Structure 1
Amino acid sequence: MLLDQTQYFKNIIAAQIVKVFYPFVIAKTECGQLVKLNLSLNERHDPLFWAAVQRILQAALWVPIGRYRNQLLDNGWLAGTTLA
């Protein structure tokens, strides 16, 4: 079975950050849809988070976000719960 057929990956979409301005982060999905990312209170008040998001924007990296809640995923692209 392919990893992208599991239920876990059906809830993840790839997005590219296109605009960063406090307190908003706008991303564009692979389909071209613009979404406003929902940020936690900790993320909104963390200067390191904003610096990291700005660097991701400059590098034009694709990041994983949750399909339904439009939140950045803290575990990135990792599929499993354990790494051997």
Structure 2
Amino acid sequence: MLLDSDKKIKNIMNAQIVKVFYPFVIARSEYGSLIKIRLSKEELTDPLFWESIRNVSQERLWVPVGKNYHQLLDNDWLLDEAEETEFA
């Protein structure tokens, strides 16, 4: 189920990763402002994360980011099955 009809969508914005350099990830929001993505301790020390985020940046993909805390969302714009039945 897409989040389009869900209240949680108000806390998600689209962003494009524009700069990746350890320990920073900079993104441009859908509104044009630059934001520093806040990374977890696990993300900071995970080489696979850094390779993946560089690939996302090179491909100029849009990713979901929390509006309040500027963190990457791991479930994209989708609800998992448990949340889907909860909101149905």
Structure 2 length-normalised TM: 0.86
Question: Which residue of the partner structure matches residue 27 of structure 2?
Answer: 27
Aligned-pair Cα RMSD in Å: 1.6
Question: Which residue of the partner structure matches residue 81 of structure 1?
Answer: 80
Determine the C-alpha separation between the residues in 2 that align with 1:10 and 1:21: 29
The answer to which structure has the higher helix fraction is: 2
1:4·1:10 contact (CA, 8 Å) conserved in 2? no
Structure 1 residue 5 displacement after superposition: 4.6
Determine the C-alpha separation between the residues in 2 that align with 1:38 and 1:45: 13
Q: Aligned residues: percent identity?
A: 54
Question: Which residue of the partner structure matches residue 44 of structure 1?
Answer: 44
* Displaced runs of 4 or more, over 6 A: none
Q: Which runs of 5+ in 1 are unaligned?
A: none
SS in 1 for 2:17: strand
Question: Which residue of the partner structure matches residue 54 of structure 2?
Answer: 54
Q: Which runs of 5+ in 2 are unaligned?
A: none
Structure 1 length-normalised TM: 0.90
Determine the C-alpha separation between the residues in 1 that align with 2:65 and 2:40: 14
1:17·1:26 contact (CA, 8 Å) conserved in 2? yes
